[in-house]
Amino acid sequence: MIYASKKQQKLQTHIHTVEIQLLLKWCIFRLFFWLSSYIILSEVIMIIMLMFIFQALEHLKPSDNCLAGKAPENRDKNRYRDILPYDKTRVVVGENQDYINASYIRMQVGDEEFFYISCQGPLPSTVQTFWQMIWENKSDVVSMMTQEVERGRIKCHKYWPEKLGVPLDIGRYHLHLENQQYLEYFHIKIIRMVETETGETHFVRHLKFTHWPDHGVPHSSEQLVRFIRYLRAMHHKGPVTVHCSAGIGRTGVLICTDIILSLIENDFDIVKEMRLQRHGMIQTKEQYLFCYKVWLEVLQGILQLHSSQWQPEDPRDHKVV
């Protein structure tokens, strides 16, 4: 009788365990369904809330001085006089710690560090320093978020080789265009850098995003998401180098979105952390809202995937045989 009682207790425990597991699955599914509906209904409220948050970020005081950028010998190396790198996070180039308008951006998210160089679009006088920065940091991906000319204004100097078999000589380096491909949303160039003194080589994948309008933000986040996923797949070593014209607006959007995609449910204050390392990252409310629009669309996609692939039964209707 004692043996039978233990067997019955074991079976009863198993039944309760199965019921609890099914109840949890059903509750999680209902939570996903509720979240999906809530996100759609509360989007307007969230936009208003984000505008207030961005307004608060606008009052975030600079975390450091910009003495190097203000030095008389470096003033002409800045595309915009009011957009300068912090001294403590600026990228220094060469043994003499030469100046370039660029900042290291390190974002610690959990155990993983996202490492970038955020910089302005090169000027004719800073192209050599730009490529030296790429070489010294062993950056293998350069993400360009602007056109050379937009609305009749020069945004970035053309700093890459244009023709196969015709190298571009940049001081200490020869730049060889190895291959190129034009996709719907972005252009890909594979550039081989050769140091003239040693013959040492370094390969760089130059990615130029072409679907950012002259004014505002993209109408859809899909193209940018695909661009970033390709960027991540191609990146293997060194910091990811990102630039637009000033190196804070679209550049900030790409970095912020990259981190959001990598850790979609994290509660990390990404923009604040970026602004403590380079002043003004994410320039406008429109850009700030676009980052969260990407987050919303990706999250909604995840919710739709769960709802289509996973339809658990109501545990109250389930019978254990």
Q: Give domain limits for the chain.
A: 1-34, 50-305
Which of the residues in the chain have pLDDT under 70?
A: 1-50, 264-269, 299-321
* Predicted pLDDT of residue 313: 38
Tokens matching residue 118: 């955020």
* Predicted pLDDT of residue 274: 87
* Predicted pLDDT of residue 28: 56
CA distance 47 to 317: 41
CA distance 298 to 301: 5
User: Coil, helix or strand for 279?
Assistant: coil
Instruction: Fold for 50-305, please state it.
Output: Protein-Tyrosine Phosphatase; Chain A (3.90.190)
- For the chain, percent helix, then strand, then coil, each to nearest 5? 45, 20, 35
Tokens matching residue 158: 């053309």
Quick one: which of 34, 37, 36, 47 has its CA closest to 292?
A: 47
Tokens matching residue 112: 């993983």
237-to-90, 110, 233 alpha-carbon distances in Å: 20, 20, 11
* Predicted pLDDT of residue 298: 73
Entry pTM: 0.72
Residue in 119, 244, 256, 291 annotated catalytic: 244
244 annotated active-site: yes
Quick one: which of 92, 95, 140 has its CA closest to 116?
A: 140
Place of tokens 């994948």: 205
User: Coil, helix or strand for 313?
Assistant: coil
